[in-house]
Chain A
Amino acid sequence: KNEVEQSPQNLTAQEGEFITINCSYSVGISALHWLQQHPGGGIVSLFMLSSGKKKHGRLIATINIQEKHSSLHITASHPRDSAVYICAVRSGMNYGGSQGNLIFGKGTKLSVKP
């Protein structure tokens, strides 16, 4: 079982729809990241959070530390939101002998149709 699980793996939505992507993890963490990856590979950090909720524009990220679960919401989705969204956690313990490194989920591929 992967330490970070995302659902769904693939998601197709109509423009304007409200979208939720879920992330569950099994390790103790010090922070959780939501990342966006466009075709071609470049990764952009959307949020880093360790508790509660953060909002940036149409994006909202929440985390429940007790339940080891996080969600990424996109309101009023748009075709330009089409990308792979990746959840990654920073382990609270040394992982691979170093601090600050990330354990990634496999990503959720989002396609928003006009």
Chain B
Amino acid sequence: ETGVTQSPTHLIKTRGQQVTLRCSSQSGHNTVSWYQQALGQGPQFIFQYYREEENGRGNFPPRFSGLQFPNYSSELNVNALELDDSALYLCASSNRDISYEQYFGPGTRLTVT
């Protein structure tokens, strides 16, 4: 059984560009949540996908969007990058039909210059 994986590990982008981050959920999981963690802060909820549908969203603008695929892997897309988007992006997978316990990936460190 493989755990939650994320790619890429690190990424440097320029302000105004677009970025796609990827998350492969743990085997048997149907739910992926995305979080943004700024330096020195706790993670903040971006949105959740459950069985390919967005199922809740935190206080993030529409330029943060996502997708979940039939194999339950997920993407986070951020358009028109701003300097404040520099953060660690974490995804966590779970099987909401069984438990709310979430398993975290290692994160993607995004730097916007």
User: Given the known A-B contacts A48-B101, A99-B96, are A104 and B42 also in contact in the complex, defined by CB atoms under 8 Å?
Assistant: yes
Q: Mark B15-47, 1 if CB is under 8 A from A, else 0.
A: 000000000000000010101010011111101
Count of chain A residues with a beta carbon within 8 Å of a chain B beta carbon = 28
- Name the residue on A nearest B94 (C-beta): A100
| A interface secondary structure, majority | strand
Residue contact A43 to B56, C-beta cutoff 8 Å = no
Residue contact B100 to A90, C-beta cutoff 8 Å = yes
Residue contact B90 to A101, C-beta cutoff 8 Å = no
Count of chain B residues with a beta carbon within 8 Å of a chain A beta carbon = 32
| B interface secondary structure, majority | strand
Q: Tell which of B67-75, B77-85, B102-110 binds the partner.
A: B102-110
B8 within 8 A of A: no
| Chain A residues within 8 Å of B113, by CB | none
- Name the residue on B nearest A107 (C-beta): B42
How far is it, in angstroms, between the C-alpha of A44 and the C-alpha of B104 when the chains are bound?
7
Residue contact B102 to A41, C-beta cutoff 8 Å = no
User: Given the known A-B contacts A41-B106, A45-B104, A99-B96, are A104 and B44 also in contact in the complex, defined by CB atoms under 8 Å?
Assistant: yes
Residue contact B100 to A100, C-beta cutoff 8 Å = yes
B57 within 8 A of A: yes
Residues of B that sit less than 8 Å from A by CB: 31, 33, 35, 37, 40-45, 47-48, 50, 55-59, 88, 90, 92, 94, 96, 100-107, 109
Residues of A that sit less than 8 Å from B by CB: 4, 30-31, 35, 40-45, 48, 86, 88, 90, 94-107
